[in-house]
Amino acid sequence: MPSVSTGAPVTTGASAAQFPATSESVVDTRLAPGRPGYRRTSFALFAAGVATFALLYSTQALLPAISAGFGVTAGRASWTVSAATGALALFVLPLSALSERFGRRTMMTASLAVAVAVGLLVPFAPSIEWLVALRALQGAALAGVPASAMAYLAEEVRPKALIAAIGLFVAGNSVGGMSGRVVAGWVAQLWGWRAALGAVGLLAVGCAVVFRLLLPKARHFTPRSLSPRALARTVGGHLSDPLLRRLYAIGGLFMVVFGAVYTALGYRLVEAPFNLPQGVIGSIFLVYLVGTVSSAAAGRLVARLGRRGALYLAVSTTAAGLLLSLADTLVAVLLGLVLITAGFFAGHAVASAAVSRTATTGRAQASALYQSAYYLGSSAGGTLGAVAFHAGGWSATVSLGLLAGAGVVSVTLYGTHAARGERRRQALSAKAA
């Protein structure tokens, strides 16, 4: 990402060399705090994040009620979450390619419109199979939002403000996940899970309208023709980048932890010794507010600790929360969830921002690959977490989370070792020259 630009549009393939910061006459027209449009953009994408996560995880807090309503196991009910996240993972790359041709703003608008329309049909699903199918369709529609949003920000926002802007979008995700679950929990307790899904759908409609009204037109987007061969080259280039591969793995592994914990959580809390009603279980998701704070603070963490240091802190916080949640007291479980949520959202914000800054061409595809890994992790974590809970209780779910966290540490340590090795090779080459 260039540090400055001329008044001409900045393409997704622009390099720093094209826009050198050597002339006082060069003016950067991209958005930054205090500039016109920055606040509107931030609030618009915050609303998009709320709608996306509210819809994507709308059934997660309702899984025990859905299991009871259709007479199915936790594993089968968990597919109402995993089908949505899995479909999003599969469709995010092709829809990001369409955004290169038709624009980020157009793609996000169309995706939200289809997703909220399906969301209004979901409460009327006559069987678990229909519910899973509609949720898969909803996830596929939502795939147009995350990667397009990241690419929009990378093109329209100055690099120094990018992590903060992406952090606010991720914060919108956390608020959406929280509000959707809280609303669903209390509405389900009063009128049943179908009414709860309808309420989440209406919430998403409102957010989609706010998004469309606030988001400014892109000023630095240049349309590209749709070329499968060019797309394959771009994707191949990203997958051949060792740093991007590590960031994709980190995002997926973090999401395995998060998906497993929050899918199995409802089943644990309805059982002894907690025996909590649906409304109270939904309210527990207020801990998502911690994610809002930690994701928004990701930029400061990176500035102070560096990217790897911030990731180590995030995974350590998540692991501490997993261990604390093993206690059979509600206070300990809540504190554990606070740490898990804070660590996850901080790690996600750091990794996703690093992807946007690392990719100098095809940013939409780079972000799409990250989102694919991220939501595949969510899909796998949700299903495996439910199966683990059914087989071995909460301790089995925690063990799965700790294993994924160890994977994050291993990938980050490998990156540190590789970076040191590259610096040594460069130093030896300099001496030899």
Q: Cα–Cα distance between 281 and 265 in angstroms, integer?
A: 9
pLDDT > 70? residue 17: no
| 127: CB partners within 8 A, 6+ apart | 70
In tens, the pLDDT along 43-98 reads: 898 899 899 989 998 998 899 999 999 999 988 999 999 999 999 999 988 888 88
Residue 328 structure tokens: 């059979």
In tens, the pLDDT along 145-164 reads: 977 888 888 888 887 777 77
Residue 166 structure tokens: 């992406």
The average pLDDT across 27-42 equals 75
In tens, the pLDDT along 282-306 reads: 888 888 788 778 877 777 888 888 8
Contacts by 120-125, CB closer than 8 A, 24 or more apart: 120/198, 120/201, 120/202, 120/205, 122/58, 122/197, 122/201, 123/194, 123/195, 123/197, 123/198, 123/201, 124/194
Q: Which of 13-22, 342-351, 420-429 has the highest mean pLDDT?
A: 342-351
Q: Which of 53-67, 208-222, 244-258, 346-360 has the highest mean pLDDT?
A: 244-258
157: three-class secondary structure by DSSP: strand
| Residue 336 or 283, more confident | 336
The DSSP 8-state label assigned to residue 328 in this structure reads S
Q: Which helix (H) or strand (E) holds 120?
A: helix 104-121
Residue type, 41: T
The average pLDDT across 340-364 equals 86
In the Cβ-directed half-sphere of 89, how many Cα atoms lie within 13 Å? 20
Q: Cα–Cα distance between 15 and 336 in angstroms, integer?
A: 43
Q: What is the pLDDT of residue 217?
A: 84
* Phi, psi values for residue 4, rounded to 5°: -145, 170
What is the number of other CB atoms lying within 10 angstroms of the CB of residue 94?
A: 15
pLDDT > 60? residue 1: no
Is 151 in contact with 12 (CB distance < 8 Å)? yes
What structural domains does the chain harbor? 34-215+237-432 (1.20.1250.20)
Q: What is the pLDDT of residue 18?
A: 37
Find tokens 């299991």 and name the residue. Answer: 67
Find tokens 């490998």 and name the residue. Answer: 414
* Phi, psi values for residue 31, rounded to 5°: -75, 145
Is 167 in contact with 295 (CB distance < 8 Å)? yes
Is 135 in contact with 129 (CB distance < 8 Å)? no
Among 116-120, 334-338, 358-362, 391-395, the least confident range:
358-362
pLDDT band at 353 (very low <50, low <70, confident <90, very high): confident
Average pLDDT of the chain, as a whole number:
85
pLDDT > 60? residue 5: no
Q: What is the pLDDT of residue 19?
A: 38
| Residue 423 or 381, more confident | 381
